[in-house]
């Protein structure tokens, strides 16, 4: 999936002042963002997060997932580090889209887990594509990542694209009674590394 660079600007946030870079898929016109902080031309591996859009979690404070919590913790971690990148990818609901995500949530309300709900709708458990990251990182001159993720498939997908993952950095945030089943399914069916920490605070990012 090829993307072209469009434009950059400054983006003040509660965590720090980032540079925001816009990219567009050449075939579909779908838009993606990268937020960067600090020097991009260093050879040192860069703290990084690839974050797939989750409107319900990122913007509407949903506690059904941990997405919004992870987004905020990633930005907070980059700000503490003083250097990093967050790639915000427009692929809602693991790639099934917002309205199908609502349909999947309804099936979960009726007893399906997150993987079963996708499959009942005729989708694979995870349709996300990370190939746009290669062009985004190439444009910005970033060669090596310290990737914040709990998802082994994401690490593998990026490495298969030729992106160097120097380190996998755990990212735990937002565990709460509403997403216990969701997290358990990610661990048991999708292989996520979900080490628990006593200092996890589901309200820390709200």
Using alpha carbons, select from 65, 62, 60 the residue that is nearest to residue 179.
Answer: 65
CATH code for the structural domain at 3-91+128-190: 3.40.50.10990
Of the listed 58, 66, 126, 135, which one is catalytic?
A: 126
Q: What is the distance between the alpha carbons of residues 149 and 147, in angstroms, rounded to a whole number? A: 6
pLDDT at position 43 is 85
Q: Give which of 50, 35, 45, 2 is closest to 153, Cα–Cα.
A: 50
Size (the chain), residues:
206
pLDDT of residue 195: 67
Is residue 83 annotated as involved in ligand binding?
A: no
Would you give the DSSP letter of residue 200?
Answer: -
Is 133 assigned a ligand-binding role in the annotation? no
Provide the b/e sequence for 4-33 (b: ≥16 CB within 10 Å): eeeeeeeeeeebbebbbbebbbeeeeeebb
Q: Is the dihedral of CA 14, 169, 71, 179 positive or negative?
A: negative
Residue among 64, 76, 103, 128 flagged as catalytic: 128
Run means of pLDDT, 10 residues per run, the chain, 206 residues: 94 97 95 96 93 95 94 97 97 91 94 91 90 96 95 92 95 87 78 58 34
Does the annotation place 9 within a ligand binding site?
Answer: no
Distance CA 181, CA 17 (A): 36
83 is catalytic: no
Residue 113 among the catalytic residues: no
The three-class DSSP label of residue 16 is strand
Among residues 33, 59, 65, the alpha carbon closest in space to that of 202 is found at 65
- Rg, Å, the chain Cα set: 17
pTM: 0.88
pLDDT, position 197: 42
What distance in Å separates the CA atoms of residue 44 and residue 38, rounded to the nearest whole number? 12
- The string over 80-92, giving b where at least 16 C-beta atoms fall within 10 Å of a residue's C-beta and e elsewhere, is eeeebbbbbbebb
Domain residue ranges in the chain: 3-91+128-190
Q: Is 92 annotated as a binding residue?
A: yes
Confidence (pLDDT) at 42: 83
Instruction: Measure CA 118 to chain center.
Output: 19
């Amino acid at each position: 999936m090829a993307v072209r660079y469009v434009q950059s600007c400054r983006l003040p946030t509660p965590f720090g002042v980032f540079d925001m870079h816009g990219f567009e898929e050449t075939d579909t016109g779908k838009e993606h963002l990268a937020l960067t902080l600090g020097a991009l031309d260093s050879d040192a591996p860069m703290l990084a997060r690839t974050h797939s859009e989750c409107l319900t979690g990122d913007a509407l404070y949903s506690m059904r997932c941990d997405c919004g919590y992870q987004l905020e913790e990633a930005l907070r971690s980059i700000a503490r580090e003083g250097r990093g990148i967050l790639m915000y990818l427009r692929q809602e609901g693991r790639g099934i889209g917002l309205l199908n995500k609502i349909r999947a949530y309804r099936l979960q309300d009726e007893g399906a887990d997150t993987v079963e709900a996708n499959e009942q709708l005729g989708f694979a458990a995870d349709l996300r594509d990370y190939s746009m990251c290669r062009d985004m990182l190439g444009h910005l001159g970033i060669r090596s990542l310290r990737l914040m993720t709990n998802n082994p498939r994401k690490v593998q997908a990026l490495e298969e694209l030729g992106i160097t993952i120097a380190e996998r950095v755990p990212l735990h945030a937002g565990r709460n009674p509403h997403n216990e089943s969701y997290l358990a399914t990610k661990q048991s069916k999708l292989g996520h590394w979900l080490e628990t920490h006593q200092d996890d605070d589901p309200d820390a990012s709200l």
